[in-house]
């Protein structure tokens, strides 16, 4: 059984202050216990150091820890080191990260102007189908962040994805698609860190975390990321 955890960074809006890029990350592992154990160990270090239990441990919250007075100085002063340690630990597990990166202004207007969520469904379905045969054929359990800003309807997303996997990839094994809160699923928490780290490379021109993640990247679906 392969487990696939999906998260996104950026958004697909077209307003002036919207992100220039949109990224979907899919972390795949067949050894779920090993992945969970690694992330839980890193989280335990933070909780033992005084990280507040009501603040979710994510890339964004760690990055901005110095602006939250409830997070101990011991953590906020070392937040960049901690971020690198967590990402390195996740990458040391037996998993592969597949991702789709799109520079939004070069996507077709028909996709960008479609009903809310259509672009997300298309990019996510295309990524999974292109990575499927080489990286995760067979039984598949997919978990998507419940709070995804882009999935306009779980049923439309689930039905579309199932249709693509069966119709385009000839998937014949077991298939389940769940939508869960990230604070309840360690796999979603893991992919959040990787998605955040990759996004910084494209949106903020900060390659720090891409360099750490690159060794576990499987399929990269690139939609004009370097086009000028």
Domains and CATH numbers, the chain: 2-223 (3.30.420.10)
5, β-bridge pairs: 27, 143
Terminal-residue alpha carbon distance, the chain: 41
Q: What is the pLDDT of residue 16?
A: 86
Q: What is the pLDDT of residue 77?
A: 97
User: Which segments of 84-213 are extended strands (E)?
Assistant: 95-103, 140-145, 175-180
* Beta-strand pair 21-29/95-103: antiparallel
Q: What is the pLDDT of residue 144?
A: 95
Q: What is the pLDDT of residue 14?
A: 87
pTM: 0.95
| H helix and E strand count, the chain | 9, 6
Q: Which residues of the chain have pLDDT under 70?
A: 148-155
Q: What is the pLDDT of residue 156?
A: 86
Q: What is the pLDDT of residue 22?
A: 97
Q: Rounded to whole angstroms, how far apart are CA atoms 94 and 92?
A: 7
Nearest to 199 by CA among 218, 227, 225: 225
């Amino acid at each position: 059984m392969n487990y696939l955890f999906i998260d996104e960074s950026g958004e697909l809006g077209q307003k002036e202050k919207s992100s220039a890029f949109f990224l979907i990350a899919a972390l795949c592992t067949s050894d779920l216990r090993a992945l969970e154990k690694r992330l839980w160990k890193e989280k335990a270090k933070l909780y033992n150091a005084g990280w507040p239990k009501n603040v979710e441990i994510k890339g964004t919250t760690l990055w901005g820890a110095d602006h939250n007075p409830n997070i101990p100085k011991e953590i906020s002063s070392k937040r960049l080191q901690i971020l690198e340690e967590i990402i390195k630990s996740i990458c040391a597990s037996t998993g592969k990260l597949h991702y789709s990166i799109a520079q939004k202004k070069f996507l077709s207007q028909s996709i960008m102007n479609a009903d809310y969520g259509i672009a997300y469904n298309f990019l996510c379905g295309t990524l999974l189908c292109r990575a499927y045969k080489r990286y995760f054929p067979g039984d598949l359990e997919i978990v998507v962040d419940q709070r995804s800003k882009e999935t306009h309807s779980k049923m439309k997303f689930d039905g579309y994805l199932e249709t693509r996997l069966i119709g385009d990839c000839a998937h014949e094994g077991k298939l389940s698609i769940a939508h869960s809160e990230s604070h309840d699923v360690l796999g979603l928490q893991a992919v959040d860190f990787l998605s955040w780290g990759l996004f910084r490379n494209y949106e903020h021109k900060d390659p720090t975390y891409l360099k750490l993640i690159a060794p576990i990247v499987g399929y990269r679906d690139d939609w004009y990321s370097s086009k000028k």
